[in-house]
């Protein structure tokens, strides 16, 4: 009983209860020296969207966060003998095979977003999450941070972590618009039509159209000018997640029509017309989505920094990106692991917590910005618009075979070690020989 009365080493407030925020809270909750409170605007944990894909780096982050068993219970993968296939790449107009991107030992590892969030939440101790807490304002002084919520309540903590997504309120405190201008989300120029199809239905539709049934089961990308379609299994392969993209490249800075919702239901005919001249497999896929939703994909500019004093933004609040490398959720999980590792270290106290946030930013900023940038560039590549490659399918295939290696092969433990060196918790010599 005495240990429960010991003063906590550090109090941490977390704004945002999505996949990254909850995974971060779970990791911190294992340290009895930390007081952790998570604030979620919704009345309960919930995720929008359907399937989410994880590369090998993200799967390693999940494992390092101690959540691998929860993940493996619900994760899908490419069927044998295609276990290592991340995606097969095909020409959209005729299904011709171009190449495959391989992720040995991982393949296309994917989950349904809501299922994954539920699996993580099951590991979160009682008493950490607070619901109906929409952040209204953030203030800080030399001793701590105060957060005001729209329900009139207030919370004070030593440091505050904004895991509150692309429309982050915490970001406006870190980078005040009156000082830094508008650094909020902007439309990428791309619409994404989403749908989920029962696997058996898609197999039958493929066969009826004269396409190979295997295309329903193995993750596919169908590529073409200004458009592409992806498919991969979720829900223990009971469903196929489908996303069909079209990009407006008619102007350098496309604008979303005034007042248009980011997500809206549209008629199937709109989707069919976008891909009217595409292949048998593509038509089979789209015919199976009677009620598509259309998402206007937004992203953030590369931000100059992620923290101000005792307040840090991470995940989509800091580096929201388009989904073309399946990397957004993975970056949030990388952030969660590196930051939790540093804050859980007994060398971290309320006295040096600001320096810990500085060290975190120093080892994470360049990588996160590069993932943002290359995710946008990947969309250009898939849609035959990459500089120097365009519609040259031989060059396109060669690029696809190797372009993800740097992203997937990153070792997060090196990020933690580099931050520890910056903080003086570890010598550079020990890091170099590790």
Contact indicator for 162, 308 with CB cutoff of 8 Å:
no
User: Do you know the residue count of the chain?
Assistant: 434
Q: Tell me which residue of 316, 322, 339, 232 sits closest to 47, measured CA to CA.
A: 316
Q: From the CB of residue 195, how many other CB atoms can be counted at a distance below 10 Å?
A: 21
Q: What SS3 class is residue 368?
A: helix
Q: Is 194 noted as a catalytic residue in this protein?
A: yes
- With vertex at residue 317, the alpha carbon angle to CA 315 and CA 323, rounded to the nearest 5 degrees, is 65
- Copy the structure tokens of residue 32: 């009895």
- Copy the structure tokens of residue 303: 């931000």
In the set 139, 194, 308, 422, the catalytic residue is: 194
- Copy the structure tokens of residue 177: 């618009």
Q: Where are the alpha helices (DSSP H) in 106-230?
A: 113-121, 170-174, 177-180, 199-208
Burial annotation 231-252 (CB, 10 A radius, 16+ → b, else e): bbbbbeeebbbbbbbbbeeeee
- Copy the structure tokens of residue 391: 């519609």
Contact indicator for 256, 124 with CB cutoff of 8 Å:
no
Q: Tell me which residue of 399, 4, 408 sits closest to 223, measured CA to CA.
A: 399
Whole-number Å distance between alpha carbons of 250 and 233: 33
CA 276 centroid distance within chain:
31
- To the nearest 10°, report the CA torsion of 118, 124, 129, 135: -70
- What's the burial of 362, exposed, middle or buried (CB within 10 Å: 0-12/13-18/19+)? middle
For the annotated catalytic residues, the residue numbers are 194
């Amino acid at each position: 009983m005495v240990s429960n009365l010991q003063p906590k080493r550090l109090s941490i407030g977390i704004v945002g209860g999505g996949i990254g925020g909850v995974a971060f809270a779970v990791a911190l909750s294992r340290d009895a020296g930390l007081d952790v409170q998570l604030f979620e605007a919704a009345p309960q944990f919930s995720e929008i969207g359907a399937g989410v894909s994880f590369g090998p780096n993200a799967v390693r982050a999940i494992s390092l966060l101690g959540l691998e068993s929860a993940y493996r219970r619900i994760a899908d993968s490419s069927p044998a003998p295609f276990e290592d296939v991340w995606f097969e790449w095909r020409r959209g107009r005729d299904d011709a095979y171009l190449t495959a991107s391989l992720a040995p030992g991982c393949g296309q590892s994917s989950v349904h977003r809501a299922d994954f969030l539920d699996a993580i939440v099951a590991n979160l101790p009682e008493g950490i999450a607070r619901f109906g807490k929409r952040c209204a304002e953030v203030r800080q002084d030399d001793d701590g941070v105060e957060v005001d919520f729209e329900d009139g309540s207030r919370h004070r903590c030593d440091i505050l972590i904004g895991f509150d997504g692309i429309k982050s309120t915490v970001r406006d405190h870190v980078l005040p618009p009156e000082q830094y201008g508008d650094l909020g989300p902007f439309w990428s120029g791309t619409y994404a039509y989403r749908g989920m199809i029962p696997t058996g239905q898609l197999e039958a539709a493929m066969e009826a159209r004269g396409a190979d049934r295997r295309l329903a089961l193995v993750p596919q990308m169908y590529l073409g000018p200004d458009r592409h379609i992806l498919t991969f299994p979720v829900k223990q392969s009971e469903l196929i997640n489908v996303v069909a993209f079209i990009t407006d490249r008619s102007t350098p800075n496309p604008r979303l029509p005034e007042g248009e919702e980011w997500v809206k239901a549209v008629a199937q005919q709109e989707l069919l017309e976008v891909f009217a001249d595409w292949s048998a497999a593509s038509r089979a896929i789209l015919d199976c989505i009677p009620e598509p939703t259309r998402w206007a994909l937004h992203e953030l500019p590369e931000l100059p920094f992620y923290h101000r004093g005792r307040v840090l933004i991470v995940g989509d609040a800091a580096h929201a990106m388009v989904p073309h490398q399946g990397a957004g959720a993975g970056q949030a999980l990388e952030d969660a692991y590196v930051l939790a590792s540093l804050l859980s270290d007994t060398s971290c106290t309320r006295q040096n917590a600001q320096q810990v946030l500085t060290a975190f930013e120093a080892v994470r900023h360049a990588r996160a910005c590069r993932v943002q940038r290359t995710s946008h560039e990947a969309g250009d590549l898939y849609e035959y618009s990459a500089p120097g490659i365009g519609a040259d399918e031989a060059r396109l295939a060669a690029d696809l075979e190797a372009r993800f290696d740097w992203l997937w092969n990153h070792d997060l433990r090196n990020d933690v070690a580099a931050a520890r060196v910056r903080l003086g918790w570890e010598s550079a010599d020990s890091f170099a020989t590790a």
